[in-house]
C-alpha cells in the first residue's frame, strides 16, 4: 500500500494531498437557502484529485495513492488542461439511474458499473491554497476547471440558489442517493476538521432486530450481536453493533438481557470465516461472546443492505418492548 509522504515545503506552495474537511452529521438540515447551498450526499469513497506541474495523482481520504486502483479516473484527470489544482470529491459506482452503488464500488475491480469521480470543491488553484476563500469563490474555480473535465470526472450537482430544502430532499430521494448536504454560504475550508458549516443528513432506514448476544465491554456491553428472523423462522446474524451505544444506554441494554442469557448460540449462520468480511464472528471471536435468547427486540437505523443482507452504517436507536410485555 502506497501512502503519501507529507512535506512542510510542499504544504506552502504546491498542489499536494490535503486532508479532507468533514461535515457534521445532523438529524435535520437548516431550511434557509439564503444562507446555505444544498448538494446530494453521495455514497462512495472520499478522494482528493490533483495535478502538480501537470502531473496527476489520485488519493484516498487517508492519503493512499489510488492511481492504479481507479485507472479510468486517473486517465481523465491527466486530460484536464489546468496543471495546478487540488480537488475534493467522491468516487462512486453509478447505476444507469444515476444512483451510487457502494457495494459495486467496493468490488470496483470486477464491477460492470462505471466508476466516476464527482468533484465538489477546490482546495488549491493557480499555485496557491484557496482554503480561506468563501465557498462561492471555490465553486467558481471548480466551474472553470470543470470546463475541461472528461468522463468519468464531473462536477457535483448544486441545487439552484432559490430551491426549497424540501424540494431538494425530494429530488435526492427520488434518485435514491443516501442523503443531503448543506454548506453555509461564505464558509472557508478547514483541512482535516469536522465542521458545523458543512452538515450532512442521511435518509436512513429503520427496522426491528433481535439481540442474540453481546461481546462484554463498557457498562457490560461492548458490542451487540443482532439478527433477524427469516421465512424459515431461524435467526440469522447480521451485525456487530457498536454505533449508537453510549454510557447511558449500555447499562439499560445490559440489564434488559441478563435474564435471557443462554449457553447456546441462537444464530444459525455462525461462526463465520475471517475472509468473509472485516468484522467476522469467527470461532475465535465466539469464545468472547455471551449469548442470549433472541427475545429482546431493538430498533436500528441503517443506510442499506449488502448483497448478503448485512446492514450498512447501522446504529442502535433504542430497545423495544418484548412480546407479551405490558
Which three cell numbers mark 191? Answer: 483541512
- For 179-190, write each residue's pLDDT tens digit: 999 999 999 999
Binned at pLDDT 50, 70 and 90, residue 8 comes out as very low
Q: Are 261 and 291 in contact (CB under 8 A)?
A: yes
- Percentage of the chain modeled with pLDDT above 90: 68
User: Which pLDDT score is estimated for 1?
Assistant: 43
Residue pLDDT, tens place only, 38-71: 999 998 999 999 999 999 999 999 999 999 999 9
Q: How far apart are CA 231 and CA 281, in angstroms?
A: 23
- pLDDT at res. 5: 41
Strand-pair category, 194-202 with 22-25: parallel
Is 205-319 CATH 2.130.10.10? no
Average pLDDT score, the chain: 91
Tell me the Ramachandran region of residue 63: left when phi exceeds 0, alpha when psi lies from -120 to 50, beta otherwise.
Answer: left
Which of the four pLDDT bands, split at 50, 70 and 90, describes residue 141? very high
Query: What integer pLDDT is reported at residue 173 of this predicted model?
Result: 85
Cell of 295: 427475545
CB atoms within 10 A of CB 211: 25
Confidence of residue 326 (pLDDT cuts 50, 70, 90): low
Ranges of each domain in the chain? 20-202, 205-319
pLDDT digits (tens, 9 = 90+) for 203-243: 878 899 999 999 998 788 999 999 999 999 999 999 999 98
Q: How far is CA 264 from CA 126, 191, 228, 290, 323, in A?
A: 65, 49, 17, 9, 21
**The pTM is what?**
0.73
CATH topology match: 20-202 vs 205-319 = no
Residue 46 to residue 91: CA distance in whole angstroms? 6
Long-range contacts of 135-144 (CB under 8 A, 24+ apart): 135/37, 135/183, 135/184, 135/185, 135/186, 135/187, 135/188, 136/185, 136/186, 138/189, 139/37, 141/85, 142/87, 144/82
DSSP conformation class of 29: -
The residues, any chain, with a CB within 8 Å of residue 156's CB and separated by 6 or more, are 39, 40, 42, 89, 90, 118, 119, 120
Local structure of 268: helix, strand or coil: coil
pLDDT single digits (tens) 21-47: 999 989 899 999 999 999 999 989 999
CATH number of this structure's domain 20-202, picked from the four choices 3.30.470.30, 3.10.400.10, 3.30.930.10, 3.40.50.10800? 3.30.470.30
Q: Single out the residue of 320, 321, 308 nearest to residue 239, CA to CA.
A: 308
User: Which of 61-70, 86-95, 257-266, 277-286 has the lowest average pLDDT?
Assistant: 277-286
Amino acid at each position: 500500500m502506497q501512502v503519501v509522504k507529507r512535506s512542510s515545503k510542499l504544504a506552502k506552495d504546491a498542489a499536494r494531498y490535503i486532508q479532507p474537511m468533514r461535515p457534521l452529521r445532523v438529524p435535520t438540515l437548516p431550511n434557509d437557502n439564503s444562507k446555505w447551498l444544498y448538494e446530494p450526499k453521495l455514497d462512495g469513497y472520499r478522494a482528493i484529485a490533483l495535478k502538480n506541474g501537470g502531473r496527476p495523482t489520485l488519493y484516498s481520504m487517508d492519503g493512499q495513492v489510488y492511481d492504479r486502483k481507479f485507472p479510468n479516473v486517473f486517465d481523465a484527470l491527466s486530460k484536464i488542461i489546468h496543471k495546478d489544482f487540488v480537488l475534493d470529491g467522491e468516487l462512486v459506482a453509478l447505476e444507469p439511474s444515476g444512483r451510487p452503488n457502494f457495494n459495486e464500488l467496493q468490488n470496483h475491480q470486477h464491477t460492470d458499473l462505471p466508476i466516476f469521480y464527482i468533484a465538489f470543491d477546490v482546495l488549491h488553484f493557480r499555485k496557491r491554497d484557496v482554503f480561506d476563500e468563501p465557498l462561492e469563490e471555490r465553486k467558481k474555480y471548480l466551474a472553470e476547471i470543470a470546463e475541461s473535465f472528461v468522463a468519468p470526472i464531473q462536477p457535483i450537482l448544486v441545487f439552484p440558489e432559490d430551491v426549497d430544502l424540501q424540494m431538494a430532499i425530494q429530488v435526492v430521494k427520488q434518485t435514491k442517493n443516501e442523503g443531503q448536504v448543506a454548506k453555509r454560504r461564505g464558509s472557508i475550508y478547514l483541512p482535516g476538521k469536522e465542521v458545523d458549516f458543512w452538515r450532512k443528513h442521511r435518509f436512513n432506514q429503520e427496522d426491528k432486530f433481535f439481540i442474540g448476544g453481546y461481546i462484554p465491554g463498557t457498562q457490560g456491553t461492548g458490542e451487540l450481536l443482532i439478527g433477524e428472523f427469516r421465512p424459515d423462522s431461524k435467526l440469522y446474524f447480521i451485525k456487530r453493533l457498536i454505533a449508537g451505544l453510549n454510557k447511558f444506554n449500555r447499562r439499560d441494554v445490559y440489564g434488559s438481557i441478563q435474564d435471557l442469557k443462554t449457553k447456546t448460540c441462537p444464530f444459525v449462520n455462525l461462526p463465520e470465516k475471517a475472509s468473509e468480511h472485516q468484522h467476522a464472528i469467527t470461532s475465535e471471536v465466539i469464545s468472547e461472546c455471551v449469548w442470549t435468547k433472541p427475545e429482546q427486540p431493538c430498533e436500528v437505523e441503517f443506510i442499506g443492505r449488502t448483497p448478503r443482507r448485512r446492514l450498512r452504517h447501522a446504529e442502535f436507536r433504542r430497545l423495544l418492548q418484548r412480546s407479551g410485555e405490558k
